[in-house]
Structure 1
């Protein structure tokens, strides 16, 4: 697993790397760590194809602040977990805008780092796990993260990924239970949506990252917004 650490304070990088290697030693995952001394250095690496499974990003940097860096990273790496590291806990709303996975306060790193890594590694494992569906087309194995939504159409449900649709006769309630814990949200009697692919919920309309808009019934609207806000860490 590749981890990128970006901070313009060398001592903070050393501290984070020490925590990462200690966590790796305890959990035997196999981390490789790349370090970057500025936001522009990290962005250049990303633009040149450098990959990462987790990014630790300092917010308060001189050349380019971490929030600006995170916003540009999202243009190239849509799903990578970004952990914002800061000395001040006053960036919650801005962090939501760049879909930060976590915030870590520098003074509390020793107390919070392992729990943060437990959560992120668990999420990564879930995203990479294949789930088998008995579809009309046969036994289909899909990553939960690749499923955009499941939509009821007549007596069948349609499992939609970016470039393919699969038909399944299983009831939506059963599929909802099968995908529990993978970040799916029942927004409507006919829609089960992967919250990773939601880009906004406003005025009883949910917008997906492929541009499609889905209606959210008034009776469900408050609950849907609350569950999505909890998923992304947004304060309503």
Structure 2
């Protein structure tokens, strides 16, 4: 699934971009999510507090925080070099300013639908090469971790604990939102506080699972039947 952001203070441009992207989604049957922002301030707040995107169509000429400043914030403050930025502008005078932001492309206004679709194609190809990953922000640093290297997620107050094969991470968020970001990943809830990667299960019984890092996690009564059926069926498929 490709997550796309649109940021422009011109409502007409936002509507047109969204229409083009939705048309693309119907044509190629690709899983895409679209979020629209009308200001650089709004976008920066979301990127800092909630989540990021894979591809961002970003207007340059916005009031207060312009697109160049947003791009620098993404690269220098969030340390996110993976998010692909496509700038939108009616002028050619920004090329030198955009050098440090390292955009994927530059689209002139009025918007050319074919160019937008080609940029989405390019992003899908790029992230396909990166493989299945999960993205989050910890202490203003952006992380993209391979799904295969995540053992489980744990609800930790207002944060989510990401337990990986190498180390542990924390980010502000809700564990119940994770399945939306990983619709086809081999994860399941064994408890309202634990979302585990099936491929890291070493053994299990009707009360608990032992993960690849030897951590023993409880299976809740509410989830027991569903969890056991899933684990047993998955074992059969692998034999």
> RMSD value over aligned CA atoms?
2.2
Q: Does the residue aligned with 2:52 lie in a helix, a strand or coil?
A: coil
Question: Bigger radius of gyration, 1 or 2?
Answer: 2
> What does residue 109 of structure 2 align with?
106
The superposition leaves residues 73-128 of structure 1 with CA deviations (integer Å, 9 ceiling, x where unpaired) of 12222211011111112322222211111111122422421222222221111122
SS of match in other structure, 2:112? helix
Match of 1:88 in 2: 91
Alpha-carbon contact 2:57-2:88 (below 8 Å) kept = yes
For residue 50 of structure 1, report the CA deviation from its aligned partner.
2.0
Aligned to 1:78: 81
Question: What does 1:38-77 correspond to in 2, within 5 Å?
Answer: 38-74=39-75, 75-76=77-78, 77=80
Secondary structure of the corresponding residue to residue 16 of structure 2? helix
1:1-236 to structure 2, matched below 5 A, reads 1-74=2-75, 75-76=77-78, 77-128=80-131
Q: In the TM superposition, what is the alpha-carbon distance from 1:49 to its structure 2 partner?
A: 2.5
Shift of 1:129: 6.8
Which ranges of structure 1 fall in alignment gaps of 5 or more residues? Answer: 131-141, 144-162, 164-236
Q: Distance in 2 between matches of 1:114 and 1:89?
A: 21
2:54–2:82 Cα contact (<8 Å) kept: no
**1:24 deviation in Å?**
1.0
Q: Deviations over 1:33-63 (max 9, x none)?
A: 1111100000011110222111111000012
Unaligned runs of 5+ in 2: 134-144, 147-165, 167-239
In 2, Cα distance between equivalents of 1:44 and 1:105: 26
- Bigger drift between 16-25 and 69-78 goes to 69-78
Counterpart-to-counterpart distance in 1, 2:72 and 2:25:
28
CA drift of 1:2 comes to 1.5
Aligned length: 134
- Distance change (3 Å), C-alpha of 1:21 and 1:46: same
Q: Report if the CA contact (8 A) 2:54-2:123 is conserved.
A: no
Q: TM-score, normalization: structure 1?
A: 0.52
Please list every run of at least 4 consecutive aligned residues from structure 1 whose deviation after the TM superposition is greater than 6 angstroms.
none
Aligned-partner Cα distance in 2 for 1:39–1:46: 10
Q: TM-score, normalised by structure 2?
A: 0.52
